[in-house]
Amino acid sequence: MDNTHNNPAGESIELTTEEKFAAVATLRKRLEDDFIALGSLLSEIKRTKAFRLRGYKNFKEFVESEYGMAGSFAARLIGIHDLFVDELDIVESQLTNIGMDKLNIIKPMVKDCSFEETESWVDKASSLTASELRDEVKDVREQKKEKTNKEVFVEQYIERMTTVFNCSRRELDYKLAVFFQDRNLDEVKDEIRVRQRRLEEAGEMEGMR
């Protein structure tokens, strides 16, 4: 979400930190209509640690004291925004029409899905009731006894990297942290999104079991 508003001349202006704080309070009252916008603001406040400007040591204390919002609920809003908007790039109006509760229901399933499967889950969330959607998720979980293509892909690549670098998985995590520390993570995220879509559309993860 673009955290801007228009001035009388119609020009876009970046919200100040104080305006973001005020916007959270306003959006909190209109939660069902604005949960995506609220999740975006909370995500940015948490990521930039802006809550420290109000004298709070951590994000959980900030949202609970300032807005009477449970830390776990704020985390849920952030999780929905970061997955469906930032990572999957789904149109916000579509997500708003689906609603927060149903997005939260399919969130664990979407994390393990290809883009095609994700679209299927989003379509189901748009057409089914929350109760029907829960039953659908339950059925899929019961049928899902084998590892997903994503899980197989990750295991094979981790094995390959630990062999090439001749290190443990823990040491590999450190090496990856060193590699990414100076990278522009927004650019990396965009590049990963493009490569992931290309990989899945090409069916390169099929037949890896």
pLDDT tens digits for range 25-40: 777 667 777 899 999 9
**In a domain? residue 207:** no
124 touches 136 (CB < 8 A): yes
**In a domain? residue 6:** no
Can you give the pLDDT at residue 65? Answer: 94
205 touches 150 (CB < 8 A): yes
Q: Is 6 left (phi over 0), alpha (psi -120 to 50) or beta?
A: beta
Considering the entire predicted model, what is its pTM? 0.58
pLDDT at 205 over 50: no
Taking CA atoms, 141 is separated from 29, 108, 145, 209, in Å, by: 35, 10, 8, 19
Residues 165 and 183 grouped into a single domain: yes
**In a domain? residue 72:** yes
Per the prediction, the chain carries an average pLDDT of 84
Domain membership of residue 120 as a residue range:
99-144
Residues 29 and 80 grouped into a single domain: yes
The number of folded domains in the chain is: 3
Q: How far apart are CA 20 and CA 28, in angstroms?
A: 12
Residues 128 and 153 grouped into a single domain: no
Q: What is the pLDDT of residues 129-176, one digit of tens each?
A: 999 999 999 988 877 666 677 778 888 889 899 888 888 888 999 999
Can you give the pLDDT at residue 107? Answer: 94
Can you give the pLDDT at residue 165? Answer: 86
